[in-house]
Amino acid sequence: MTTITTFDRSAGIAVWRQIMETLKAEIVSGAFEKDRRLPPESELAARFGVNRHTVRRAIAALTSEGILRADQGRGTFVASAPLSYPIGPRTRFSEIVSGQDRSPSGRLIGSEIEEADALLAHQLDVPLGTPLLRVATLRVADSVPMIVGTSWFEQARVPNFVADYAESGSITAALKKAGIDDYRRKETRITAELVEARDARQLGLALGQPVLVVESLNLDMAGRPIQYTRARLAADRMQLVVDGGGV
Amino acid sequence: MTTITTFDRSAGIAVWRQIMETLKAEIVSGAFEKDRRLPPESELAARFGVNRHTVRRAIAALTSEGILRADQGRGTFVASAPLSYPIGPRTRFSEIVSGQDRSPSGRLIGSEIEEADALLAHQLDVPLGTPLLRVATLRVADSVPMIVGTSWFEQARVPNFVADYAESGSITAALKKAGIDDYRRKETRITAELVEARDARQLGLALGQPVLVVESLNLDMAGRPIQYTRARLAADRMQLVVDGGGV
DNA sequence: ATCGATTTGTGCGTATGTATC
DNA sequence: TGATACATACGCACAAATCGA
């Protein structure tokens, strides 16, 4: 591998950060899995063709994210491996996480009434300006934040949602209390973006990190949209797994 | 929406680039429909709390990517919408692209023999150091590069692959010539990374942009791995669509 | 046809951050 | 550690194009 990469100094991204990303991609794809040890800083500096200070700054940033661990005198080691997230019609975060020997938790981090903008009006099939309930959740595995999710519902259809959700901790249960007994997923759209400032704080990511964005729309049994969700996944800590699908 | 976002000035990412990403995310998620006007620079500058020059630089970068188009005196407009890529067992890039009124093309951008490292040996279930054929392809829609793909095969099983592929332009056809009549997808793993320097050149992306990484493994009918593929998709130009799946 | 308001395009001076040597 | 080169961000001013009254 040991490719010598040159860095773009006018791309709006500091060189130390470009090095940080390169290292992170290699870590996630398992390049240092043998002994989980990184090459010494001097070697990395030579490989990237930069000053050793610059490499140190990249390593410091990865350390503060918990991805690397630097031991005095011994070297720098990979600290964490990514979580697999199978994507399907009936997946539950809690089951996925437990199945991989980690302990899940989740909590409500905010809810608010807002008016439907063009995008939400279109997705939920309501007139512009319709009052919507926005619910934000944070899901955590082994006390490491994994997913920030924002869901929108037509407010009139789920009048007591927040209390019901807080009580049960389950969206399904809260919808049931609102008379929506069953629902199904229409489709899911996946893309990648750079993390926004607020999500970066919630997920404990540095700015400029990529997130997987998963947008999904749930319909009730009559085919009417009830819930539009936009989830942001810390890409360095998760992989989506689709059975059979491919590009 | 009109959220006032503050930007981190010590994250190693230029503010203009953070604004560029914010705008791009809003465009991709459909906040401004196609041929729709963006708010004026002065308004965006106020919203982001920065100088107008800084907003202009973000807009300039998006313009050079073909995402925006600015007309003096009139305003700034969205120039292109992202391509939807349904992910499933039987999807072909060419059909997807044609189905969205764009014209697809693809070409071989490199092939090489290399020895299996730990990751590839595990995926293809061969001993470490086994000679592998690595094939790199670039797929393009309307002359805009979309996907860089790298596939690995056990070299001994596909002795004349490169010539066969160059002749037919189809991996399926080239595998057939090697006696592999049919194959099926085992699973697909999706994650997001920041683009590498080489892929950035191929895809015409700026460094620091996120890419969707789709890794998939094909098995022959006996269940033996034959092809491991790692595709990098320009995230600002594509969305993966999974039917029914969700998070 | 003209004017004024709006919006993008351009220039310059200054201060600060980044990376090298 | 300083000195140097360059990119980044700001502030202000003004030119050029567009549009509607």
pLDDT tens digits, one per residue of B32-74 = 765 578 889 999 999 898 999 999 999 998 888 778 889 998 9
Å from B62 (CA) to C2 (C1')?
37
* Interface with chain A: mutation pick from B10, B191, B195, B226, highest number of A CBs within 10 Å: B191
Å from B55 (CA) to C7 (C1')?
14
Which of A119, A147, A225 has its CA nearest to residue B25? A119
**Contact map slice: B 47-86 vs A, CB within 8 A:** 61, 82, 84-85
Distance CA B124, CA B223 (A): 11
User: Which tokens belong to A221?
Assistant: 């049994």
Question: Any CB–CB contact under 8 A between B93 and chain A?
Answer: yes
Distance CA B194, CA A24 (A): 9
Q: What is the DSSP letter of B28?
A: H
Q: Which residues of B touch A190 (CB under 8 A)?
A: 87, 190, 212, 239-242
Contact B16 A12 (CB under 8 A): yes
Distance from CA of A247 to the nearest CA of B (A): 6
CB neighbourhood size of B20 (10 A): 27
Residue B94 CA neighbour count, 13 Å, CB half: 6
Instruction: List, in sequence order, every beta strand (DSSP E) within chain B.
Output: 68-71, 75-78, 83-86, 104-115, 131-141, 144-154, 183-194, 210-220, 225-234, 238-243
Question: Any CB–CB contact under 8 A between A187 and chain B?
Answer: yes
pLDDT at residue B130, rounded to an integer: 94
Which residue ranges of chain B lie beneath pLDDT 70? 1-10, 29-31, 33-35, 89-96, 98-103, 207, 243-247
Instruction: Compute the residue count for chain A.
Output: 247
Distance CA B196, CA A137 (A): 32
Question: Any CB–CB contact under 8 A between B13 and chain A?
Answer: yes
Q: Give the pLDDT of chain A (247 residues) as one tens digit per residue.
A: 434 456 666 677 788 888 887 777 777 666 666 566 777 888 888 888 888 888 888 887 777 666 777 766 677 777 666 666 777 666 666 666 666 656 666 788 888 898 887 678 878 888 878 999 999 988 887 777 888 999 999 999 999 888 888 887 778 888 889 888 888 787 788 889 888 878 888 888 877 788 999 888 888 888 889 999 889 999 888 888 876 555 5
Q: What is the CATH number of domain A15-78?
A: 1.10.10.10
| Packing angle of the helix pair A52-64, A41-48 (nearest 10 deg) | 110
pLDDT at residue B59, rounded to an integer: 93
Distance CA A192, CA A238 (A): 13
**Could you tell me the sign of the dihedral formed by the alpha carbons of B121, B123, B124, B125, in that order?**
positive
Question: Any CB–CB contact under 8 A between B111 and chain A?
Answer: no
Write down the architecture of domain B83-242 according to CATH: 3-Layer(aba) Sandwich (3.40)
Distance from CA of B74 to the nearest CA of A (A): 22
DSSP letters along B150-186, please? EEEEEGGG-TTHHHHHHHHS-HHHHHHHTT---EEEE
Distance CA A206, CA A182 (A): 38
- Candidates B31, B188, B208; nearest CB to A11: B208
pLDDT at residue B153, rounded to an integer: 94
pLDDT at residue B1, rounded to an integer: 41
Distance CA B48, CA B7 (A): 8
Question: Any CB–CB contact under 8 A between A240 and chain B?
Answer: yes
Beta pairing partners, A77: A37, A69
User: Which tokens belong to A11?
Assistant: 């791309």
Question: Any CB–CB contact under 8 A between B148 and chain A?
Answer: no
User: Which tokens belong to B102?
Assistant: 């764009």
Interior angle at CA B236, CA B150 and CA A87, nearest 5? 70
Q: What is the DSSP letter of A101?
A: T
Identify nearest nucleotide to residue A51 by CA to C1′ distance.
C20
Instruction: Report helix, strand or coil for B60.
Output: helix
Using CB atoms within 10 Å of the CB of residue B48, give its burial: 0 to 12 exposed, 13 to 18 middle, 19+ buried.
buried
Instruction: List, in sequence order, every beta strand (DSSP E) within A42-124.
Output: 68-71, 75-78, 83-86, 104-115
pLDDT at residue A4, rounded to an integer: 43
Å from B71 (CA) to C4 (C1')?
20
**Could you tell me the sign of the dihedral formed by the alpha carbons of A232, A238, A242, A243, in that order?**
negative
Domain residue extents for chain A: 15-78, 83-242
Question: Any CB–CB contact under 8 A between B214 and chain A?
Answer: yes
Question: Any CB–CB contact under 8 A between A35 and chain B?
Answer: no
Identify nearest nucleotide to residue B40 by CA to C1′ distance.
C7
Interior angle at CA A168, CA A162 and CA A170, nearest 5? 80
Å from B206 (CA) to D10 (C1')?
25
Q: Which residues of A touch B18 (CB under 8 A)?
A: 194, 197, 207-208
Distance CA B64, CA B67 (A): 8
Phi-psi group of B146: left, alpha or beta (phi > 0 → left; psi -120 to 50 → alpha; rest → beta)? alpha
Q: Which residues of A touch B8 (CB under 8 A)?
A: 197, 200, 207
Q: B195-206, pLDDT tens digit by residue?
A: 887 888 899 887
Contact A6 B241 (CB under 8 A): no
Distance from CA of A72 to the nearest CA of B (A): 26
Distance CA A230, CA A241 (A): 18
User: Which tokens belong to B10?
Assistant: 């010590």
**Contact map slice: A 150-179 vs B, CB within 8 A:** none
Phi-psi group of B169: left, alpha or beta (phi > 0 → left; psi -120 to 50 → alpha; rest → beta)? left
